[in-house]
Structure 1
Amino acid sequence: MTPFRAWYAPPGFSVGPEEVAQGAVVLDGPGGVEGPGYEYAALPEPRLLEVMGILRRAWSAGIADIRLSRVVEAVDRVAGRLLEPGDRLREEALLAVEAFSGFSPPMAEAVLDGMARSWMREGVWDLIRSEFPDPGVLDGFCPGPAGDETRAAGFPLTFHLGAGTVPGVATTSLIRSLLVGSSVILKPGEGDIPLPVLFAQGLEEEDPELAKRIAVFYWPVNESGRTETVLNAADLAVVYGGDETVRWVRERLPPHVPLRAYRHRMGFGLVGRGALSSDDEGSAGGRSSARAAALSVAIFDQRGCVSPHVFLVETGGEVTPEEWAVNLGTALEEVERTLPSGSLTLEEGAAIQQLRGAAELAESMGEGTVLHGGKDGSWTVRFVPGGTVAPSCLGRTVRVIPVQDMEESLETLKAWMPYLQTVGMAGLDDRLPVLAEALARMGVSRITPLVGMPWPRSWWHHDGSGPLRDLVRWTDVEGGGTVS
């Protein structure tokens, strides 16, 4: 198999043979079996600055020519190709996403389809209009308050540093900067190399002028000198990653370069007694909510910031929390048939086995129960009366904690307030307004039905802020002068 080329260089820049290095994805952890090979551009720091110079010149030359509507249409065409069976981009993306992420083929297809749909014109315009009621401010000055005029403009050159945990996230980040008119240099994480590279290739085919504003280069995380060089030469940094990564970047950014950080987060579910009916098929049935919860756990193999790690389940329903946990295990086994789990690292596999062993010991002592898919099974449900909220070890591993009253149970979440993001709900109905207010005060940025957890609306406030407004600078013209 030909190694994947892990870069996209803007027109006018060529990577020399002596600058190409070899890498390989390790799907089974250090010392494990290597996955697909790839080639990356091991550019010296002066050469990275050369790329950034090309991107800046492209931004300066084209800022008045490439209108927002043109960007939306170009992105839509590439997204359509990624959804079109038989198209080269789609076929290459399916194979590469599976190989680099370790997802099973059905999961790779589900993730590609979900991501590409979010890049289609309808969703993109929804996002734009939700943050800019008059999208014209991204093309030029428009009427503002008190007879003044205002304009929003992207930074000339934005550096995006991806995490690599979920394929497509880096591409979404890249698209956001294109929408506000910035040039972009993107370093994806290893697990998310293919999609931004293929997206950039597709964009070059659909709109060569717009593609001049993009560069995608991967380099290993231990080659931090390259990262520091780009950070120091960019106008804005957008970073995805854990606390350690964000801290590292913040310490090295020049004071004049703003940082937009998307830290690792975790989701959780709240299942009220209204969803714990013994009715099997009804929309509020105990098994219906368990199926929705199982799908939310399974999508992205639980790697997403939207993925649930814990479910708080109320007592007092026709179905007990423990019975609901059994239903969840059954549903996870069913999902496994249609969306099989992907590869685990050695560390993840060891953590799951350790958790199961400890849970089985606790079960033998009368402290909760544990359900899982067997020795080679890929899911684990631990029912823990009196348990605490904590992130799972992934691998479709969740805790189910029974609670008497949902409002009071929110106290157990406070220790994790800085990491809370998406909350899936079922069976809370008339209590939703009170619970939503309490969750908002805790910093939760998204509340949705259980089944909606994996796929946010296109206009969602990512980690509580507007993802496009975070990428622009505003200019106001006061005093009644007319610019537009």
Structure 2
Amino acid sequence: MNVIDIFHAPRGFVFQDFETRGIVTDHGEVTLRYPVLTAEIIRDLCGTVRRNRLQALSAYSVERIVDVIGKAVELWTDPDYEERLLAESLIPAITGYDATMTRIELKRYMRMFRRRELLRFLDDELSSPRMLDEYRPNKSGGYTRLYGPDLTFHVFSSNVPGIPVWSMTMSLLTKSAIIGKSSFDEPLMPVLFARSLAQIDPDLADALAVVPWHGGTVELEDMAIGEANAVIAYGSSHTTEAIRPRVGTGKPFLSYGARIGFSLIGREALRADTHVQTVHRMAVDVATYDQQSCLAPQTIFVERGGAISPAQTAELLARELDSQQRKYPRSVPSDEESLAIRRARSETEMKALFMAAPAPGGSAAQNDPQAPFVIESPQGTNWTVLYFPNTDSLTSLATPLNRTINLVAVDQLEDALPALKPYRAWLQTCAIAASSSRLFTLAQHVGEYGIDRICPIGEMNRAKSGWHHDGGFNILDLVRAVDIERNTDRYSDTFDIDYE
């Protein structure tokens, strides 16, 4: 039986006791091994990675760090790379996500961290990336140096494989040591990434530690929070808000909780020559990782006036979701999740009883029905389309996820805006399928409602390098700037022995 360690620690750091759990893969049973942790062990881990950072990582140039990460990521472009094969085999078995979908999405995701992408990202966020290395001239006539945390505590989520790679990369670019808490629901990807870094630069990887423990283990979390100079937390809103009050005043705390994505589909995207591809892209956004990503759509607003009506679009979307189900089967939801989906279906059907019934005969999507309707998967809760004839009939912008999508008909895309207002604090990604003549006007409007990202449909789950996560900055929100004010250097010149 294969034994896989789902932790990473610096060289020389020894754990005394371990526990295991078994999973079944297509290639047989695998045992996952992880250390038994105490607050004292977490304290020692924090101290070790902090010391290792001081001996190596803190002296690296940001260019060198980019090179190391870039070379580690290039390893993942080889289909036969050992760590990639492990990810492609074990992550579907652990998470329940379809293996083919996981392979495709991980391959695309890891390419975001190639050297050229990291350089583009740094140049986008920092006026001079070398400010992370030394004092550089600033626009006010002085000099500025950016200092990252000595140690950052990361709370990784399990909903989307690969997200920890983003978080770890941002910290490494600030020259911060890392103590990462992984989730038992997906403990593998941050560990495999750390191993890849170790293959390229063992000294850099010695500034990292990734260990799993159960969320809510207060004594371990409080030790890590207390030792760290910054905290980054991913997860449900409950998870992130439980951590927030325990982070000391003045200590950077970046939290990424639950969010709602939505799409705006213009009539020009539903022409006779465009609607097939448009609907396919809509389905891809819904099916990818079963909407578990905070980037995924939960509501789609469809404009009337295209070659097909919004109700017909709902029917075509249902067919595409059925195709996605056959190609990339959905993971098995919990009983609670299944119940939530059935409840959403029932509530929509009940609402239809109090409104005008759909036109009789043929498909439910004929003409332009003035009542909601539900199109559901033939088996169980594999996918669900909830149709609403206007924003007033929409029950909620959010859905139970797991390939459950609202589709709302609007006369004009701008009619969707009032429905966004109550959810301002939760909005994140907006996908737009409309002509370029309308793109920036729509972007101006939706940008006022709290979103932080606009993208094409079909790419909602694939944020690009340089994206401002939740509207903030990836590096600037972690670093501390120190300025040497204008004329300070000239004043220092006066102490030169030959100054005149």
Fold equivalence (TM over 0.5): yes
2:199 equivalent in structure 1 = 205
RMSD: 2.2
Q: Indicate the percent of aligned positions where both proteins have the same amino acid.
A: 29
Q: Quote the offset at 1:64 in angstroms.
A: 5.1
1:89 Cα deviation after fit = 1.0
Match of 1:411 among 395, 402, 418: 418
Are 1:36 and 1:99, in contact at CA under 8 Å, matched by a contact in 2?
A: no
- What code does the residue aligned with 1:295 have? V
| 1:222-267 Cα deviation digits (max 9, x unpaired) | 4221011111111000111222222211111122422111121111
Asked whether 1:114 is paired with 2:108, we answer yes
Distance 1:256 1:135 in 2: 24
Structure 2 gap segments, 5+ residues each: 358-370, 493-500
CA positional deviation for 1:128: 0.9
Aligned counterpart in structure 1 of residue 82 of structure 2, from 63, 67, 88: 88
CA change 1:353–1:36 in 2 (3 A) is farther
**Corresponding residue number in structure 1 for 2:387:** 383
3-state SS of 2:276 partner: helix
Pick from 131, 134, 141 the counterpart of residue 147 of structure 1: 141
- For the pair shown, which has the larger CA radius of gyration, 1 or 2? 2
Structure 1 residue aligned with 2:485, among 475, 478, 481?
478
TM-score for the superposition, normalised by structure 1: 0.92
Deviations for 1:82-135, whole angstroms, at most 9, x for unmatched residues? 231111111111112112221111111022112211111121111111011321
Work out the CA distance in 2 between the residues paired with 1:105 and 1:63.
36
Alpha carbons 1:165, 1:189 under 8 Å: kept? no
Which of 82, 101, 109 matches 2:95? 101
- Change in 2 beyond 3 A, CA 1:275/1:479: closer
Alignment map for 1:285-296 (pairs within 5 Å): 285-296=274-285
**Corresponding position: 1:327 with 2:312:** no
Deviation at 1:70, TM superposition (A): 1.8
**2:14 is equivalent to residue 14 of structure 1:** yes
1:433 to 440, 449, 456: 440
Alignment of 1:31-430 (within 5 A): 38-63=32-57, 65-277=59-271, 279=272, 282=273, 285-360=274-349, 366=357, 367-376=371-380, 378-385=382-389, 386-430=393-437
Q: C-alpha displacement at 1:12, in angstroms? A: 2.6
Shift of 1:321: 0.5
- Matched residue of 1:192: which SS? coil
Q: TM-score of the superposition, structure 2-length normalised?
A: 0.89
SS at match of 2:261: strand
Q: Secondary structure at the match of 1:172?
A: helix
Q: Provide the C-alpha distance between the structure 2 equivalents of 1:105 and 1:139, rounded to a whole number of angstroms.
A: 41
- Residue in structure 1 matched with residue 495 of structure 2 by the alignment: none
Contact 1:168 1:192 in 2 (8 A): no
Correspondence for 1:30: none
Aligned AA (1:10): P
Please give the alpha-carbon distance, in whole angstroms, between the structure 2 residues aligned to 1:206 and 1:375: 48
Residues 481 and 25 of structure 1: CA distance in aligned 2, closer, same or farther (over 3 Å):
farther
Secondary structure in 1 aligned to 2:344?
helix
Contact preservation (8 Å) 1:287, 1:328: no
2 CA distance for matches of 1:69 and 1:116? 19
Change over 3 Å in CA distance of 1:83–1:377 after alignment to 2: farther
SS at match of 2:482: strand
Q: 1:303 Cα shift?
A: 0.6
- 2:290 maps to a residue whose letter is D
Q: Report if aligned partners of 1:163, 1:189 keep a CA contact under 8 Å in 2.
A: yes
| Matches of 1:64 and 1:171, distance apart in 2 | 20
Structure 2 CA distance for aligned equivalents of residues 63 and 74 of structure 1: 11
- 1:245 is paired with a residue whose SS is helix
Separation (CA, whole Å) in 2 of partners of 1:72 and 1:123: 10
Instruction: Decide which of 465, 468, 471 is 1:461's aligned counterpart.
Output: 468
Separation in 2 of the partners of 1:481 and 1:93? 53
Q: For 2:380 and 2:206, locate their aligned partners in 1 and report how far apart those are by CA, in whole Å.
A: 47
Structure 2 distance, partners of 1:307, 1:190, is 23
Structure 2: how far apart are the matches of 1:152 and 1:401?
Answer: 47
- CA shift, 1:218, in A, is 0.7
Tell me, in whole angstroms, the C-alpha distance in 2 between the residues paired with 1:336 and 1:304: 18
